Amino acid sequence: MTDGQVEMDEGRRRYEFKKALERLEAKQGAGTELITLYIPPDKQIYDVTAQLRDEFGQCANIKSKQTRSNVQAAISSILARLKYYKRPPELGMAVFCGTVHRGGDKYDLECQIVEPPEPIGMYMYRCSSTFELEPLRAMLEEKYVYGLLVLDRREAYWGFLRGARIEPIAGATSTVPGKQRKGGQSAVRFSRLREIAINEFYTKVGERSSAAFMTEKDFFVRFKGVLIGGPSPTKEEFEAGNYLHHEVQKRVIGLFDVAYTNESGLPELVDAAQDALRGVEVMKEKASMQRFLRELVKEDGLASYGEESVRKNLEIGAVDVLLLSSGLREVRQKLRCEACGYATERTVRAKPGETTGDVETGACPSCSSPLALDEESDIIDELTSFADQSSAKVEIISDDFEEGSILMTAFGGIAAILRYRTGY
């Protein structure tokens, strides 16, 4: 397997998981009757079924007859599915089951089992009017988190880097006197006072930023390291002085020159640290987007964007890297005329959790019989297999960092870096 395929699988897996969550998020029950069940990998299935039978018995207390019978139907449906499991899957499982609103006054019993990308940590049974998705949502967050700290002797600011997203936390300013002493002060005494003030400021910054970094949940697992930025020799002096908590201090990745030491210094620090961060998934996404934007502004650059133009370039095999936004929610439909055989394709927007089967298909342009929907697929699936035919690399770009959101808002979520220039 090539590197490109590995990258693709990871971005793709996250995209699929995110879409599944969006679909579940949209489901509503008429009453408190949607069941969420989280089963960790080490839980015995017979313990789960015993509790479900118990819950079934307690349904007798539910006043509304309809809610009662819906909850009981959901529990029975889960029990029937659990019969196929001797033990939970390797990472555990999440079960979502209940009578959900289908639009209008239509309701249907629906049951879905999700195998998570990370192990489920706790057992949970919940009955509510929506599904409980928080534990799965937490898995969507970037796996690795970095601490960012910029400082000089007068001010400091710190925050997190989550994936490609910067999250500012807080800052501090010092009362360190400037280099110019007032008349009448002894030079030795002045520089001694100044040193004390600098030391106090570094201590405060070290303590407060360390405390903030260490509030990160699963600090020891997720927190990959700290980047320190600032002018020389401040950052070197701060790092050498061990002002950070020792668990944070030993995770210092590197020191980088930046001009700003307020909130604006954080993105500057991330840019300066690009080389050190290479290898992190989202940094690759950022690098691809920057490459695309550089090509775009060149006189004869190798950039293409918008669905139509990118499709034409894919058709002739001119695409090197296909960039697709994870914010894309569209489907590609193949339409056919049963009467004369006329066929066409089109792209339509799709809301998560909704099928587009009932969308108006229109009339055949050659014989005016109604067109029928022949085939429908997610646009990311469809464009990916199109790209595979000419061995173009595919990258799914998340939309939670600056260049990533530009792909969605300015270029409709579809862009490409070309192998050579074309007329499209």
Nearest residue (CB) to Zn ion, 82 versus 364: 364
Nearest residue (CB) to Zn ion, 79 versus 339: 339
Task: Indicate whether 340 belongs to the interface with Zn ion (CB under 5 A).
Answer: yes
Nearest residue (CB) to Zn ion, 196 versus 367: 367
The Cα 417–Cα 393 span in angstroms is: 10
The Cα 282–Cα 285 span in angstroms is: 5
Nearest residue (CB) to Zn ion, 208 versus 336: 336
* Residue selected from 342, 359, 374, 419 as contacting Zn ion according to rule CB under 5 A: 342
Contact region for Zn ion (CB under 5 A) — 63-71, 275-283, 310-318, 335-343?
335-343
Question: In DSSP terms, which residues pair with 304 in a beta bridge?
Answer: 416
328: left (phi over 0), alpha (psi -120 to 50) or beta: beta
Min dist. Cβ of residue 339 to Zn ion (A): 5
Task: Indicate whether 319 belongs to the interface with Zn ion (CB under 5 A).
Answer: no
Mask for 197-236, x = binds Zn ion (CB under 5 A): ----------------------------------------
Task: Indicate whether 259 belongs to the interface with Zn ion (CB under 5 A).
Answer: no
Nearest residue (CB) to Zn ion, 173 versus 366: 366
Min dist. Cβ of residue 163 to Zn ion (A): 49
Task: Indicate whether 79 belongs to the interface with Zn ion (CB under 5 A).
Answer: no
Nearest residue (CB) to Zn ion, 287 versus 339: 339
Q: Torsions phi, psi of 153, nearest 5?
A: -80, -10
Alpha helices in 241-327 (DSSP H): 246-249, 265-272, 274-277, 281-297, 307-315
The Cα 215–Cα 98 span in angstroms is: 37
Min dist. Cβ of residue 352 to Zn ion (A): 33
Task: Indicate whether 343 belongs to the interface with Zn ion (CB under 5 A).
Answer: no
Please state, as a whole number, how many other Cβ atoms lie within 10 Å of the Cβ of residue 341: 10
Min dist. Cβ of residue 333 to Zn ion (A): 16
Task: Indicate whether 109 belongs to the interface with Zn ion (CB under 5 A).
Answer: no
Q: Torsions phi, psi of 229, nearest 5?
A: -125, 155
Contact region for Zn ion (CB under 5 A) — 130-138, 139-147, 270-278, 366-374?
366-374
- Residues 288, 396: contact at Cβ < 8 Å? no
Nearest residue (CB) to Zn ion, 57 versus 370: 370
Nearest residue (CB) to Zn ion, 121 versus 370: 370
Nearest residue (CB) to Zn ion, 36 versus 333: 333
The structure tokens listed for 261 are 């030491």
Which amino acid is located at 88 in the chain?
P
* Residue selected from 364, 394, 397, 418 as contacting Zn ion according to rule CB under 5 A: 364
The structure tokens listed for 259 are 């001009």
Nearest residue (CB) to Zn ion, 172 versus 339: 339
Burial of 151 (0-12, 13-18, 19+ CB in 10 A): buried
Min dist. Cβ of residue 362 to Zn ion (A): 11
Instruction: Tell me the C-alpha to C-alpha distance, in Å, between residue 372 and each of 338, 345, 356, 361, 362.
Output: 7, 11, 13, 7, 9
Instruction: Tell me the C-alpha to C-alpha distance, in Å, between residue 239 and each of 209, 229, 231, 421.
Output: 13, 10, 13, 49
Task: Indicate whether 339 belongs to the interface with Zn ion (CB under 5 A).
Answer: yes
Nearest residue (CB) to Zn ion, 259 versus 367: 367
The structure tokens listed for 94 are 């999440």
Contact region for Zn ion (CB under 5 A) — 154-162, 188-196, 337-345, 403-411?
337-345
Task: Indicate whether 337 belongs to the interface with Zn ion (CB under 5 A).
Answer: yes
- Residues 239, 255: contact at Cβ < 8 Å? yes
Min dist. Cβ of residue 370 to Zn ion (A): 9
Task: Indicate whether 367 belongs to the interface with Zn ion (CB under 5 A).
Answer: yes
Min dist. Cβ of residue 338 to Zn ion (A): 8
Q: Torsions phi, psi of 311, nearest 5?
A: -60, -45
The structure tokens listed for 355 are 């099928």
The Cα 20–Cα 109 span in angstroms is: 18
- How many residues lie near Zn ion (CB under 5 A)? 8
- Residues 238, 153: contact at Cβ < 8 Å? no
Contact region for Zn ion (CB under 5 A) — 29-37, 64-72, 302-310, 358-366?
358-366
Burial of 99 (0-12, 13-18, 19+ CB in 10 A): buried
- By the criterion CB under 5 A, which residues form the site for Zn ion? 337, 339-340, 342, 364, 366-367, 369
